Structure 1
Amino acid sequence: MWDYRRPAPERTAADDYTPISMERVREILGEPQPFIAEKKEPFIGDFMRRFIAHSTFFCLATVDETGAVDASPKGDPPGSVRILDPWTLAVPDRPGNRTADTFENITRSPGVGMVFFVPGVRETVRVNGDAFVTDDPDLLQRLGAEGKPAVLATIVKVREAFFQCGKAVIRARLWEDDPRGLSGSLTLNRDFYAHVTAQMAEKMAANLGEGLGSLGTIVQHHYDTELF
């Protein structure tokens, strides 16, 4: 048995392993295809806006001035995170345990990372940016839920936003049937990648050429053959 009540010893299980360089990582993984490497955009596009508006769960990662990272899960009704413009998100804070770890970090180091989930949708949306906390009363009212204003609001200035494939969600078998039908409402019962292609048509056309119209088929092939 581990005596975890005592201070961590000088040597732990982590010391049994040797870190590798990024060069070695690339040697193992290879390089991403161009349309994947260039998928990041410095704004929230139309379909991404719809995705965030349908999201009921997301994680918000922050870091303090020493580099210590914290990831906080957030759950709310659809539409709670507001897109103020293509470069700005407003995130409500609800009553909680008052530890304020996220706010402690943001006030010391503004960098944040977010990943948004929609029930029933395999793919996710990721947003990275810089954030600050506000108590603007009008904004807190706009971010309210169940007739109560938000306690605080986090403003996120978007640096990059992009779609993430659904392999992790598929491996986890994360979603059961969602009675709210948010998946169909988001995609209008069309293929997810038809919407992605429409939002990023010019960039994807340059990278995929004649394969642009079959992006969904390409991704599904990866899901079927390269999940593990």
Structure 2
Amino acid sequence: MRSRPPSGGLAMSDPSDPLNSAPASDIAFTPAVKAAQAKRGSRAMYARVEARGGFRTRITPDLVAFLGELDTAYLATANASGQPYVQHRGGPKGFIRVVDEETLGFADYSGNRQYVTLGNVSENPKAFLFLMDYAHRRRIKIWGELRAVENDPDLVARLMPEDYGALPERALLFRVRAWDINCPQHIPQKIDAPLVVAALKERDDRIAALEAEVAELRAQLDARG
């Protein structure tokens, strides 16, 4: 999956980073989190996850397939003082693209010009993607670092969905540090409106065909009578 680094791409993982010698799940399971798990009885279960290496750290084919069906995401950042911010990101299915084996990318469209996310990542690159598939009751959590790439029209063109009527201003590159799949418990099933419209049309077409068939049979019976 890896090719030449994209223009404005992110650096490879730093071998001196403590996270690289610890289970990948330690990005979320800090000592305070582990203490809370121990107090409430779930530490042993997650220790077994850590023994297997923790969360996944590379972009795998199943994650690529999930992203290909995704048209909405929630992107979380925080400023230098830790104040969090969550922003919705959307586009046609597959708008989050795979750049290389550890990097995702998407075009940053023109919006309300508050630039909270851009300001946050300028002083704190840590970011989080929360991805929901309500139709199939699936969710994926991705931890990483986010970087804005300005003045790179070739990269933006690679990330911009075809025939989408948004104005891209820059590229956003998300280096994946770890990701995990959540269980479907408590996820309500919601179906996208276009799918509902298509299903209802199929039903209505079938009803119309059956009604026409019934009318034809009645006409034949009347003709015999």
Range into which the TM-score falls when normalised by the shorter chain = 0.5 to 0.7
Q: Distance in 2 between matches of 1:155 and 1:164?
A: 24
Q: Larger radius of gyration, structure 1 or 2?
A: 2
Match for residue 107 of structure 2?
A: 92
Match for residue 175 of structure 1?
A: 190
1:160 Cα offset (Å): 0.6
Q: Which amino acid aligns with 2:118?
A: F
| Residue 59 of structure 2 corresponds to residue 44 of structure 1 | yes
1:86 Cα offset (Å): 1.7
CA contact (8 A) 1:111 1:131 kept: yes
1:93 Cα offset (Å): 1.4
CA contact (8 A) 2:130 2:141 kept: yes
The two structures have a TM-score, normalised by structure 2, of: 0.63
Q: C-alpha offsets along residues 151-196 of structure 1, whole Å, 9 cap, x if unaligned?
A: 2211111111221111141xxx241366449xxxxxxxxxxxxxxx
Q: Which amino acid aligns with 1:73?
A: H
Q: Which amino acid aligns with 2:157?
A: Q
Q: Which runs of 5+ in 1 are unaligned?
A: 1-19, 182-228
1:43 Cα offset (Å): 0.9
| Cα distance change, pair 177–102 in 1 and its aligned pair in 2 (3 A) | closer
Q: 1:142 aligns with which of 158, 174, 179?
A: 158
CA contact (8 A) 1:63 1:69 kept: yes
The two structures have a TM-score, normalised by structure 1, of: 0.62
Q: Distance in 2 between matches of 1:47 and 1:99?
A: 34
Q: Distance in 1 between matches of 2:35 and 2:178?
A: 25
Match for residue 122 of structure 1?
A: 137
SS class of match (2:56): coil
RMSD of aligned alpha carbons: 2.5
Q: Which runs of 5+ in 2 are unaligned?
A: 1-31, 197-225
CA contact (8 A) 2:106 2:160 kept: no
Equivalent residue pairs, number: 159
